Amino acid sequence: MKLLGKILCKECVSNKYYVRCFKANHHNLHYRNSYKKNTCIDMLRQGYHKSFSELFTLIQKWNALREAAGPGSAIWLQTSLEEQPDKLDQLHHFLTRAEAAQRAEHYEDMYNHQLNLAYCFNNPEDKWLRNYFYEQCHRTAKQIKIDGGKKEAESHANLGLVYEEQGQLMKAAEHYEAFHQLTVGRMWRDERGQSHNLLACEHLWRIYTLLADKMLENNEHQQAIKTLIKAFEMAKKGGNKKMEAEAAYCLGLTYHSAGEEDTAILVSLIKTYFISFTDVVALTEEKVTEAIKYLEKFVDIAKSAHHSRSLVNACTFLGNIYNERVSIRFRNYAMFANALTDLPLVDETKAYYGIAKAHNMMVAVNSHTEAVDHVTIEYLLAWKENRSDMCTDPFTVGKTLTCFSLNFLKKIELNRFIQNKENIIIIYFRC
């Protein structure tokens, strides 16, 4: 055995054999070490000492959060960061590239690598990592001088969302205000094509509204009004009619709760809300349920402020939407009844459809009647004579003519129509 030992020692003196022994030993160590340790060794071997330090700090931070939460908490039951190879690989990849970009003073590349890390950790259990890298992005963005402040603006928006999620509304507002200030007059857009400035207006409208809600909970009505005025201004700048309508509604209710029902500002807000909402309805015909919800909110404001004309307008608008819904339902019922070849049932459903459609026609015809000019009178007389489609009419371009006047209905006995249901159907289908 001693002789064998001497022979082995002599062999080890050989340089080639020594290298082979070292490599084999290192290869075995690689498999004996944990994945975290191997990742750290790779970083140090490549010279990325800052990346190694940052990774080690993050692992310690996760362990500290886990200990602070204690047994039974959600984070206590999660797998440790150092035991998740996929996440360690992502951290190794982007941290080392960010460090290399920093050494070369390519701060925009450094920012992008840090932002990619934030995007990697967007799951609920990884939000703390995402938030950490958003903060790193913000620090890096301040060093970028070649983009006019675009990256800095984006970093403010991201930090605003972080603080909003955490319930720190004042800090969120500060970052959103900085985001808005940096985007004024700029044509910057995000990857979805959305304007940064309009997005900043939307964020500020939302955060100001949330802040005002907190103030109202503490009975700080005047401060809430000031904050909601800022929200309303941001909504108008954002160019979103739905957002503007909601802002006007909230501000109107706050004026009302503060005992200022008769103020001219409230009346102005009611008008703004109604005008904004009619634009929304025109643009979103398919969202009927949402339209009804906002109109009913407007009715509440108009009632509280005793603004009769706006109340009448809103109720008329609601009635028109309901009539349209009823008309569509009866049309479908008529089609189903027709498929059953049950003639009495077909006649009955058509009668109901005709009545609903007639009510739905009132608004358009009344507008013609109220115009009281020669052209509209001739138009109505011509329609009354032949009951044909008039596609040149501005109210009916591209649609079936909807012009059956309430004034005409008054001249015809409703009982006669119900008894002779076919007449209603003839009148409707000729329209």
Q: Alpha helices of 121-183 — where are they, by DSSP H? A: 127-141, 150-165, 169-183
Instruction: Measure the CA dihedral 269/275/277/280, to 10°.
Output: -140
* Residue 397 in domain: yes
Distance of CA 177 to the CA centre of its chain: 19
Residue 257: predicted pLDDT = 77
Burial 115-137 (b: 16+ CB within 10 A, else e): bbbbebbeeeebeebbbbbbbbb
Packing angle of the helix pair 343-371, 308-339 (nearest 10 deg)? 150
Residue with tokens 């102005």: 268
Residue given tokens 């290399």 in the structure block: 100
Range of the domain at 377: 323-431
3 state DSSP class of 389? coil
The answer to whether position 333 is within a domain reads: yes
Rounded-to-integer distance, Cα 57 and Cα 66, Å: 14
At residue 285, the 3 state secondary structure works out as: coil
Quick one: pLDDT at residue 119?
Answer: 95
pLDDT value of position 269: 64
Dihedral of the alpha carbons of 180, 183, 188, 193, in degrees to the nearest 10: 20
DSSP state of 46: T
Per-residue pLDDT of the chain (431 residues; tens, 9 = 90+): 443 344 334 444 444 444 444 444 444 444 568 899 999 999 999 999 999 999 999 999 999 988 998 888 888 888 889 999 999 999 999 999 999 999 999 999 999 999 999 999 988 889 999 999 999 999 999 999 899 999 999 999 999 999 999 999 999 999 999 999 999 999 999 888 999 999 999 999 999 999 999 999 999 999 999 999 999 999 999 988 878 878 887 887 788 777 765 555 665 666 666 666 555 555 455 556 766 776 777 777 777 767 677 677 777 777 777 777 777 777 777 777 777 777 787 787 778 777 777 776 776 677 677 766 777 777 777 777 776 544 344 344 333 333 333 333 333 333 333 334 333 333 333 33
Report the distance separating Cα 324 and Cα 335, nearest Å: 17
Is 161 contained in some domain?
Answer: no
Which pLDDT score, from 0 to 100, does residue 264 have?
53
Number of structural domains in the chain: 1
pLDDT score recorded for residue 272: 66
Residue 33 lies in a domain: no
| 216 Cβ contact partners less than 8 Å away, ≥ 6 residues apart | 224, 254, 257
Tell me what pLDDT residue 286 has. Answer: 54
Residue with tokens 């109210």: 395
pLDDT at 183: 96
